[in-house]
A and B are shown apart, each in its own frame.
Chain A
């Protein structure tokens, strides 16, 4: 436990240092591009904290980051990297939307669960393909999931332009709008925050609980750490990996549904702008630890909302957010690299000193 605590402190220090460094590097890039870093970062803080609407948007985006980040952790826990969450999310969004359109006349208690199930099913099935290929055929899942992302994006585009197109001629690529009865209730008027966050919170707690507190979580951890050992000790690792991948996909599909029913109320490509990759980045920065993912989601959501505000008020492109987020990863990797080489050096020095001391005694 002592060791664990020490490691947590080390992580926090490294994270704080990296965040500071990343903002410094971000400032240099802002300067180079002709912006005033002070003004930009000021606008960022304003953007994040001015008014209830922004707080609503912040919480909604934190929900997206948290769920996608946990979906990524769910895969990496058992040693499979789901890089295909973006595709699963898009498919979940469009299918759940269309289910809602079809069931527009039926009661809410039928339509909503049906839409949620459809989103999870389509996301899960779409994740099953790379999961099955990885486990049974041993095909690298990173490539297949990336390819399937592009395929899913095109497929959704096709559906939104063709068979499921909105009747309105001015909307080029969008599905029909949902009946307002089916919308998630807005919690803060004018913001993106809806009752979906309650479901999201429940899913978050459940995911954390299963991973950290149950025997299933223990089996997942062993499988990810050393699959051969896990199999040797009697765990059905193939099945576990596939199930985790499918659940990860189902979670992504559900995020798509939350975006449709909570925010957009129809499907169009703005339903997600590489959001899964931002969640994945959060998961990486968190070292794939569920609790850390949850906390960091709130932090990075502030950055994101702030960056969007900054774009509006100071005219700075909000992509500075992506830059800062990834620079944090590089800083943390560099720190651990530099730190471990420094530590090796000091251990060598100490070992040498020990010998000298010992020899001094011998000669005396």
Chain B
């Protein structure tokens, strides 16, 4: 019994599922890393994902092509990012209130539009994103099964992780972005308006969260929209951002961890109620948040011991 469970857990299917579950969270976490570096507490990612998911399906349905859906998502992503920055940067509103309101607004708007346009809270079977077959990859046992024939966005995410990492840590603009969050006056006295970086971060976050939603509806679920389908992924992404200290590469790893536990939950459904296994990723997220605090505290204590004792 245990053997069958374990072999089903550590199968190629599980790891493939891990990739698929992790990708929307990872994309959103990349966006969240941008706003986090810019010093904006972004609770509103869940709403941004939800809007991406809806407008992706809407575009795909209306124009009859998933590419058009993604294009619409990109446009909406910029608009949502601008909207978010207008309040958090320009008006200096409470980030918590704006984020929460954005989530509820997204829930209301997508459900309202879905019911108005499709007549019900959801829609299925719209043109979806293609999967990519990489010839030759199948030759590698196990890994080939895990990595090949995935939805386009899974590969796109890898590229984006690299690009965002380079952007943050290897370009001058990355320096400015980090300075704008950590100590904005530094940037201002250097002659660069920190607000500009915050606006940029917010737009990037809108775009990336939109893509996360588009992947969810057009990629992972093959052209399906359902009410509240973001299902707290925005918050999990936020936890990944905190966990990774907004490092895109580490955030991706954290998202993979979420994906792994999500996949295990799906595997265990054969043995335990799916309602119970479904809670695993959320519980893991809480554990992750606790670990972040404990880790930083322990690191400080170590630093304390390492300090040379300067005695007279």
Contacts and interface: CB of A to CB of B under 8 A. Distances in A.
Q: Do chains A and B touch in the complex (CB under 8 A)?
A: yes
Interface of A: 29, 33-35, 81, 83, 133, 137-140, 142-144, 146-151, 154-155, 157-158, 161-162, 274, 277, 280-281, 284, 316-317, 319-323, 325-327, 329-330, 333-334, 336-338
A323 B104 CA distance: 8
Contact of A137 (B43, B107, B290): B290
A284 B101 contact: yes
Given A144-B286, A330-B87, A319 B111 contact: yes
B117 A322 contact: no
B107 A133 contact: no
B115 A319 contact: yes
Interface residues of B, number: 46
A137 to B, nearest CB: 5
B289 interface: yes
A280 to B, nearest CB: 7
A147 to B, nearest CB: 4
Among B87, B115, B116, max chain A CB count under 10 A is at B116
Contacts of B282: 147-148, 150-151
Contacts of B102: 326
Interface of B: 43, 86-87, 90-94, 96-98, 100-102, 104-105, 107-109, 111-113, 115-117, 231-232, 235-236, 238-239, 242, 273, 275-276, 278-279, 282-283, 285-286, 289-290, 292-294
Contact of B100 (A83, A148, A319): A83
A322 B279 contact: no
Nearest to B98: A333
A144 to B, nearest CB: 5
B112 A143 contact: no
Tell me if A's interface is mostly helix, strand, loop or mixed.
Answer: helix
Tell me if B's interface is mostly helix, strand, loop or mixed.
Answer: helix
Nearest to A337: B91
A125 to B, nearest CB: 15
A337 B93 contact: yes
Contacts of A154: 275-276, 278-279
Contact of A147 (B101, B107, B117, B235): B235
Nearest to B115: A317
Nearest to A142: B43
A147 B239 CA distance: 10
A162 B276 CA distance: 11
B195 to A, nearest CB: 13
B96 A142 contact: yes
A147 B286 contact: yes
Nearest to B97: A284
Contacts of A316: 116
A133 B286 CA distance: 10
